[in-house]
Amino acid sequence: MRDVLKPVLDHDGGMIWDAATQALTIQLTSDEAVDQARILIASAETNLRINFARVQYTAKELDDLANKLLGNQVEWAGASGIGGGYDAYSNRVLLQVYPGGKDAATLIRAIENLNDPRVTLERVEPVDNWKPESRDADIAPWTTGAKIHYSGGDPSQYCTLGWAWRLWSNGGIVGSTARHCPNLVYDNNGVYVGTVYSSKKIADSAFMSNSNGYSPSVFVGNQTTTDYRPVVGVITSWVAGFLLP
């Protein structure tokens, strides 16, 4: 469906797939774009439930803005620690700040000073009964999204544990992280997580080994989330932000 609507979506909109209702919502910024989309959908002869929604901004505009703001936050906000991204449901860039963080006041003030109608600030509060058994202190075997520190290094410097991977060669499960994180040995809350043994700079990725293996689960949410869930399937064609049929 994305290929069918590409002439419209590239300039005027985005899409949201709701698995619960099996409905596809097409977001467009003009009546002309809606009319063009209806013609394209009719030619595709699809049985999908299609909804249309008028929005102010295109998915591309907001995705580009989110990448720019999140990728350069030290330069414009004076510190790092902002999460979030393009939120298709609100048709805004959602910037999340944990008010308990050491630079929270600086970050919140910088976001407010953007005075950009495309940007929404969300103050992320800890969940009820929260305790540090989360991205800051995972339980072994380690969960995707866990915060990992450079073992023996500055505790304020950290990276994030990426997806667990099953090797074709022997079926073993290894961890991963970004290759721009310069260290080779990592821990989490003082407990050994793994050692980088293979990496590729051009792909900004690295495999990590640990005799205890890694969990096929993933943290869901912000930097203080305690919500982690099992990975139950793989989708090989995807679009950042939301899944498509």
**146 and 210 housed in the same domain:** yes
**What φ, ψ does residue 206 adopt, rounded to 5°?**
-150, 140
pTM here is 0.53
Residue 134 falls within a domain, yes or no? no
11 pLDDT exceeds 60?
no
User: CATH number, domain at 226?
Assistant: 2.40.10
Residue 45 falls within a domain, yes or no? yes
**160 and 220 housed in the same domain:** yes
Q: 158-198, pLDDT tens digit by residue?
A: 788 998 888 877 777 889 998 877 778 888 877 888 888 88
**223 and 172 housed in the same domain:** yes
Bridge partner residues of 84 (DSSP): 95
For residue 159, give its domain range. Answer: 142-230
**Number of compact structural domains in the chain:** 3
240 pLDDT exceeds 50?
no
Q: 98-109, pLDDT tens digit by residue?
A: 787 778 899 999
pLDDT of 176 reads: 93
**What φ, ψ does residue 145 adopt, rounded to 5°?**
100, -10
**152 and 205 housed in the same domain:** yes
Q: 203-222, pLDDT tens digit by residue?
A: 788 898 887 788 888 887 76
**31 and 67 housed in the same domain:** no
Going from the C-alpha of 59 to that of each of 118, 121, 159, 222, the distances in angstroms are 11, 18, 28, 22
Is residue 226 within 8 A of residue 130, CB to CB? The reply is: yes
User: CATH number, domain at 35?
Assistant: 3.30.1340
pLDDT of 5 reads: 57
